[in-house]
Amino acid sequence: MSGDSALERLKREGRIVVVGASLAGLRAAETMREKGFAGSLTMIGDEPYEPYDRPPLSKQVLLGKATADRTALPRRRDIDAKWRLGVPATGLDMTARRVKLADGDEVEYDRLLIATGVRARPWPNEEEAALEGVFTLRTRDDGAALERRLAAGPRRVLVIGAGFTGSEIASACRERDLPVTVAERGAGPLVGALGGVIGEVAAGMHRDNGVDLRTGVMVTGLEGDSSGQVRAAHLSDGSLVEADVVIVSLGAQRNTDWLAGSGLGAGPRGIACDAGCRAFNIWGIVTDDVFVAGDVARSPHALFGYQFLSLEHWGNAVAQAETAAHNMLSEGVDRRPHVWIPAFWSSQFGVNIKSVGVPSMGNEILITQGSRDERRFVGVYGYQGRVIGAVTFDQCRWLDFYEQQIEHTAPFPLPFTTVDRRSEGNKPLDADFPDPSVPTHGPTITLSGYSPADRQMTFTPAHN
């Protein structure tokens, strides 16, 4: 047939495989069908469940207002896929274009989308992690098990790590009237994502709501009783916290282990890809048939100096999946870049926290509206004289405005006066981010490129 291009053939009878059957995987699959992909579509997921939504797990579910088995994601349309659920992908052969599965099967593809996300970082001591009553929270099963334990009325809950998830868990515990201790290595909750100025506000929220917040300490060990039930935790300041539920909330690890040796540019920081979601191989050469999206991806962003951003944000997973799907079914100039402005929300202690841009890239913060004491304000982050991010506490309607400022690289501090500017908003403060070499946690942003100004690396080519 004349004019039957490879692309048309792909759309008509090609084989597309998606590894990671969650938010990004599902939205990509829907988009591919919307764009007229009529070939075979295989969805591979290691969890036995169809795609479900995670944010409610640390909110509605822990509050007992929704159950973990009822957060399945709505479908925008039928995707007519072969579902391989409950079986992990274990390997990738890029030459033969084949995905290997744990049950020995192999699935061939013409185009592959990797959307394997992240998993909760486990408690480093395996024996202690295995104690009864020690939890992490990432999956539907985690959410169900933890909710059951909280409903049973533990004597005290210990949350290790006060990133977004840890803080939301502490908030849910207090709402259920459970005694809770939070241990955080940093100077305050959320400092990795939003800096110390905001961390101080967050610390006030914990304490006013009756959380026993311990900052600047590390949990050094967990202790069980004779039946293997966790009983207490030892802290680096020498204190002991007696708790029968311990939730390890130390951030996430990228699910890239299964790609070891595949030749793909995948590692602990995720899978590097170009702005069009095409994965890099280990030589930094872009592949044309392997795409990535969601939490596992790491992609350069024009607005942020082409630094590589890894985002653990719901909205990014959706937007990147749609772009990846579009590009998987397009050629050349029809492909589009993923230039999403990072954005996320959190809800804790009855306060709606939202952010846009990359606050952690900023070094100064200006409270442009409202006040920190009222926990109702807008904080704007500045980086080298421009607006780079913003955070709102119960002021979400202003976020669009600040997003525009970020997009237009508006000067920082913002020259205009706003409707609710208080005296504390007259002068930028040091945003007070911890030393970037200290790892932090929370659904946030990791910058993993080098700024040209940094001059951190010297590359000496081999002469042969």
Partner 1 sequence: MRLVVDLNRCQGYAQCAFLAPDVFAMHGDESLLYNPQPDEEHRENVVRAVHACPVRAILLDAMNGSLSSAEARGER
Ligand X SMILES: Cc1cc2nc3c(=O)[nH]c(=O)nc-3n(C[C@H](O)[C@H](O)[C@H](O)COP(=O)(O)OP(=O)(O)OC[C@H]3O[C@@H](n4cnc5c(N)ncnc54)[C@H](O)[C@@H]3O)c2cc1C
Residues forming the site for partner 1 (CB under 8 A): 42, 50, 53, 55-56, 59-60, 63, 65-66, 70-78, 80-85, 314-315, 318, 343-345, 347, 349-352, 354, 376, 394, 396-397
Distance CA 411, CA 88 (A): 48
Give 185's Cβ-side CA count (13 Å radius).
15
- Find the shortest distance in angstroms from Cβ 130 to partner 1: 30
Distance CA 257, CA 279 (A): 16
Of 200 and 394, CB closest to partner 1: 394
- Find the shortest distance in angstroms from Cβ 293 to partner 1: 17
The reply to whether 135 sits near ligand X by the rule CB under 6 A is no
Distance CA 172, CA 178 (A): 9
SS3 443: coil
Of 174 and 231, CB closest to ligand X: 174
The reply to whether 273 sits near ligand X by the rule CB under 6 A is no
- Find the shortest distance in angstroms from Cβ 72 to ligand X: 12
Among 23, 113, 162, 241, binds ligand X (CB under 6 A): 23
- Find the shortest distance in angstroms from Cβ 73 to partner 1: 6
The reply to whether 340 sits near ligand X by the rule CB under 6 A is no
Stretch that binds ligand X, among 2-10, 197-205, 231-239, 310-318 (CB under 6 A): 310-318
- Find the shortest distance in angstroms from Cβ 78 to partner 1: 6
Q: What one-character-per-residue DSSP string does 170-229 give? A: HHHHHHTT--EEEEESSSSTTHHHH-HHHHHHHHHHHHHTT-EEEES--EEEEEE-TTSB
Q: Where are the beta strands (DSSP E) in 372-410?
A: 376-383, 386-393
Q: Which residues contact 258 (CB under 8 A, 6 or more apart)?
A: 88, 89, 90, 91, 92, 116
**Which amino acid is it at 333?**
V
Distance CA 356, CA 379 (A): 11
The reply to whether 325 sits near ligand X by the rule CB under 6 A is no
Residues 153-212 that bind ligand X (CB under 6 A): 165
The reply to whether 117 sits near ligand X by the rule CB under 6 A is yes
Residues in the chain: 464
H or E segment at 425? none
The reply to whether 19 sits near ligand X by the rule CB under 6 A is yes
**Which amino acid is it at 362?**
G
Q: Which residues bind ligand X (CB under 6 A)?
A: 19-20, 22-25, 44-47, 54-55, 57-58, 88-89, 115-118, 137-138, 165, 255, 258, 294-295, 312-315, 317, 344-346, 443
